[in-house]
């Protein structure tokens, strides 16, 4: 399951992968983000997958890539940090970083929320923005 909430105070799309997350769920999430007008043109996204796992094989990454390219057309920049704690998920994410080579798109893989939060906030408003990671908020949207 993919859940998400745009945190206006932090200016981050907080996303959570829970249980086994499929290619279809990720694509539906990307389509939902593409169709909303709530997000800023320079989008920062923090994906916490520590309570989930990617139910994907490497070949399925291409379809996710295609949908992500469509998403990218909606934004000036995308900065995405994903937190994974399973080696197989980390391997899939590293493969994905090799596939997606777009200007104005940053995608980094992390194994802690603290490291991901530090990176996603780096350079915001001309400097480092220090926001403590927190537990998942009440979620507005569930896919």
d(CA 111, CA 84): 5
Q: How many domains is the chain built from?
A: 1
pLDDT digits (tens, 9 = 90+) for 112-135: 999 999 999 997 654 433 334 443
For residue 128, give the CATH number of its domain. 3.30.750.24
pLDDT digits (tens, 9 = 90+) for 36-91: 988 999 999 999 999 999 999 999 999 999 998 888 888 999 999 999 999 999 99
Range of the domain at 84: 2-142
Average pLDDT on 20-36 reads 95
The predicted pLDDT at position 73 comes to 83
Residues 29 and 2 sit within 8 Å (Cβ to Cβ): yes
pLDDT at residue 138 greater than cutoff 60: no
Q: Which whole-number Å values give the CA distances from 49 to 25, 102, 105, 109, in the listed order?
A: 13, 23, 20, 11
Give the SS3 label for residue 37. coil
The predicted pLDDT at position 101 comes to 77
d(CA 33, CA 141): 11
């Amino acid at each position: 399951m993919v859940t998400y909430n745009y945190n206006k105070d932090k200016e981050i799309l907080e996303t959570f992968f829970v249980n086994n997350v499929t290619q279809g769920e990720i694509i539906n999430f990307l389509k939902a983000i593409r169709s909303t007008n709530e997000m800023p043109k320079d989008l920062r996204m923090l994906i916490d997958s520590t309570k989930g796992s990617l139910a994907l094989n490497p070949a399925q990454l291409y379809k996710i890539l295609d949908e992500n390219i469509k998403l990218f057309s909606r934004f000036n920049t995308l900065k995405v940090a994903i937190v994974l704690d399973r080696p197989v998920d980390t391997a899939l994410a590293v493969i994905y970083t090799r596939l997606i080579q777009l200007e104005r798109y940053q995608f980094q893989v992390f194994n802690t929320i603290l490291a991901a939060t530090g990176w996603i906030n780096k350079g915001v408003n001309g400097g480092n923005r220090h926001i403590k990671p927190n537990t998942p908020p009440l979620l507005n949207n569930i896919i």
